[in-house]
Structure 1
Amino acid sequence: MWTAVRCWARQNPVIVDLALVGVVYLCTLIAFGARFSERPSAHPMATDALLAAAATAPLLARRRAPFWALGIATAVCVIVQATGGEVAPLITPLSVALYNMAVRTERRTAWTAAAVTAACTIGPAVLWAPGLLLGPQRLGALTWIGLATALGDSVRSQRAYVKALTERATRAERNREEEAARRVTDERMRIARELHDVVAHELTLITTQSSISIHLGQRDPAVLVDNLVAIRNHSKQALDELRAIVGLLTQPGDGATPRDPVPGLHRLEELVASFARAGLRVEVVKEGEKQSLPSAVDLAAYRIVQEALTNVRKHGGVDVARLRVGFGHDAVRITVENSGSVNAAAPDNSASGGTGRGLISIRERTAAVGGQVVVGRRPQGGFSVDARLPFVRPVRMAEQPSGVGR
């Protein structure tokens, strides 16, 4: 109910101002009439009505000109007292003007205006009217001036507090939306990396083995059968990994959650064997004592090896690659090298059909676990990928940009 009234008042400010001025004017006239019944006023009733109108009418402009509304009401009070009248009947418009001033201005300004108004209101009474310095009339006027200013200041403070809470809630909601959008983007990029790594690796092996089958199958049926079996196995593995990735996008109840283990360095021998069947021999060197890695680091290490060897198979122009896996006390280091020609190791993207997504994926996976990676040509020829993946994510991540994408 009260909320509806406030909404209506905000939508009809002119009607509210007219009603307020009318009520204040009637209260002022009643106060003048009460004073006249107690003892004759210093002015005729018509003059009192004009003075009441002069003090009340400026309240119509109280929203746009609060200083003028208060100044005119104060001036009328001074005039009334200078001509032998009393300020008590004009307390109502004066209090409304002071309340309006306190609501629409800062605290220091409002209380300064209240002090000036009190001086201008009580000062003439002390000079021109007999009686005690702080008699009942003057003390009552001071009390109303203080109450009106205090009430207006309280309302202003409450409105400022509510506004601050509203802005804070709005800002928090906006931050939540931005955070949700950022998480959606991060998840989309993560899924894109997974899809790229799976498709690029498996299809590269399938394409290579298909080419071998075309050239050697007619002369050696056994090679054809072996390659077809390998193609079938790689296709099945690719479908299983794609099914696992797509399963992450399903909602609860949309189907069974994939139960396949997440790829990691425990599948390194299987990965190397798949490249061997595709014609790339990988020399593996393991250093340090093997440790149990966090799942994110384990997956990143596996995908980095997979993508680096895929690049060698597609672009290196060599049959041998070297893989070094070193386990330290706080990090695992992955190094993949080949001795292919510079042009073959990093061909032009337009000629090879590459998009640069592979090396970007390596850098993104390394940065995601707080590691560093160096990708580029070797001084003695060929190409290398050297990644260091810490077991514990550091406070600040650093990455050494280098190399070019395919």
Structure 2
Amino acid sequence: MQPQTPTPPPPAKRPRLGERVLTAVSRDPLAATHRFRNDALLATAIGVLSVVLALTVQEGRRPDALGWALLGGSIVPLAWRRSRPIPVLLAVVVCVIPYHAADNNHLAPLHGSLLALYTVAATARPLHTFLIGTAVIGTAVTVMFRVDAHQGLEALRTSGWILAVLVFGADVRIYRRYIASVVSRAERAERTREEEAARRVAEERLRIARDLHDLLAHSITLIGVQTSVASHVLTVDPGRLDRAAIAKALDEIADTCRTARGELRTTLEVLRADGPDAAGPLPDLTALPGLVRAAQADLDVRTEQAHIPPAVEAAAYRIVQESLTNSVRHGGPGVRIRVAVEAADGHLRVTVTDDGTAPGATEGSGYGIVGMRERARSVGGTLAAGPRDGGGFEVAAALPLKQQSEALA
């Protein structure tokens, strides 16, 4: 069996003529690619047309050498019409006025003059277009009346074409400005979406950092404390080895590792879930007894069956977890810790205190307190942390029991 040759992709559909014309019209004339080359080719085509008209149409006399020079002088500047529209129009007018005054063929320079007028109307401000159009019409009619009354009336009659070209150029300018404003609004909307996406990414990274800090710092601190207990039992009196104490410390280390592994797995599952709003199981107040017991602290919970939003429960749990970590880490051996959680006055009040007997017990160098304040603010609450008057350290948080969206409104 011979391998099948892949089918080539269908050729791109070429835009229709009307679409290409609208694209060319709506494009900024100064931003067009190869504009000088295209304008030079257009000026060449108009020059050829002018020469043909001057030789074939009997509208005035055939130009002499000066007339040909003036006719050429009115066409050559058109190659720069988009980059210098007003100077080009002035150059055309300077050449055309004596050309018509000498009663040369009046139809030959018409197309170049109208193109220069259109370019000014499509690029200049409306007031400038009005003043320039008035000056051009007035000058043309005056010059033609000086040549001949019949030519003057004919110029007055054909001045409607000049007005039509000016109006058309002004309409094109307005249309281009409208397209530019639409594109600008679309670009601003795209930038706003990108900034919002970047903000969401930053918030998500901050949330991940808080979760990992709360989880790992607490677990590692407990493991360190329990390891110190086992090491102390082994080294103080090796002859009277307290196997029960060592076994208890090792069991607590194993329990802490299992708990940390489960919470880390939960965190990773939330991060891998689809969508920015993917939700996962959050820690709640029912997990506090085990957390506090592992830190050998006292717990007093009085919620009185109050309705506590899951986000508030998770924030309270993480605040207690980080406070216990700080107390165990900085409070020294034998530190006494008390945790109180109470629902009252529309708030869930969380207080963690210790006696902080070790030197430097109230000092910290990490992001624990900053993370706790961010936890509290995330549900519309407040948090205060600092040394106690009688010694030790205290963390006090007030978390509103309303829905999070209401609390932040």
Equivalent residue in structure 1 for 2:395, among 377, 385, 391: 385
Equivalent residue in structure 2 for 1:222, among 225, 237, 244: 244
Aligned counterpart, 2:343: 327
Contact kept in structure 2, 1:17 and 1:60, CA below 8 Å: yes
| Aligned length, in residue pairs | 376
Q: CA deviation at 1:394?
A: 7.1
One-letter identity of the residue aligned with 1:146: L
SS of the residue corresponding to residue 289 of structure 1 reads coil
SS of the residue corresponding to residue 271 of structure 2 reads coil
SS of the residue corresponding to residue 345 of structure 1 reads coil
Q: CA deviation at 1:283?
A: 4.4
SS of the residue corresponding to residue 248 of structure 1 reads helix
Aligned counterpart, 2:283: 263
Q: C-alpha separation between the residues in 2 aligned to 1:344 and 1:12?
A: 73
Equivalent residue in structure 2 for 1:194, among 211, 225, 228: 211
Q: CA deviation at 1:136?
A: 4.6
Q: CA deviation at 1:305?
A: 0.7
Aligned counterpart, 1:312: 327
Aligned counterpart, 1:401: none
SS of the residue corresponding to residue 340 of structure 2 reads strand
Equivalent residue in structure 1 for 2:300, among 274, 281, 284: 284
SS of the residue corresponding to residue 249 of structure 1 reads helix
Q: C-alpha separation between the residues in 1 aligned to 2:405 and 2:279?
A: 31
Q: CA deviation at 1:149?
A: 1.7
Aligned counterpart, 1:247: 269
Q: C-alpha separation between the residues in 2 aligned to 1:396 and 1:67?
A: 62
Aligned counterpart, 1:138: 156
Q: C-alpha separation between the residues in 2 aligned to 1:151 and 1:258?
A: 59
TM-score, with normalisation over the residues of structure 2?
0.81
Q: C-alpha separation between the residues in 2 aligned to 1:385 and 1:323?
A: 10
SS of the residue corresponding to residue 63 of structure 1 reads coil
Q: CA deviation at 1:178?
A: 3.0
Q: C-alpha separation between the residues in 1 aligned to 2:262 and 2:273?
A: 19
Q: CA deviation at 1:130?
A: 1.4
Q: CA deviation at 1:201?
A: 1.3
Q: CA deviation at 1:270?
A: 1.9
The CA deviation string for residues 335-370 of structure 1, in whole angstroms up to 9 with x for no partner, is: 1122224844223x5xxxxx4121121122122222
Q: C-alpha separation between the residues in 2 aligned to 1:26 and 1:33?
A: 11
Aligned counterpart, 1:352: none
Residue segments in structure 2 that go unaligned for 5+ positions in a row: 1-13, 235-239
Q: C-alpha separation between the residues in 2 aligned to 1:68 and 1:230?
A: 89
Aligned counterpart, 2:316: 301
Contact kept in structure 2, 1:283 and 1:320, CA below 8 Å: no
Residue segments in structure 1 that go unaligned for 5+ positions in a row: 350-354, 399-406
Q: Evaluate the alpha carbon distance shift between residue 86 and residue 126 of structure 1 in structure 2; reply closer, same or farther with a 3 A threshold.
A: farther
SS of the residue corresponding to residue 323 of structure 1 reads strand
Q: Which moved more, 1:59-68 or 1:365-374?
A: 59-68
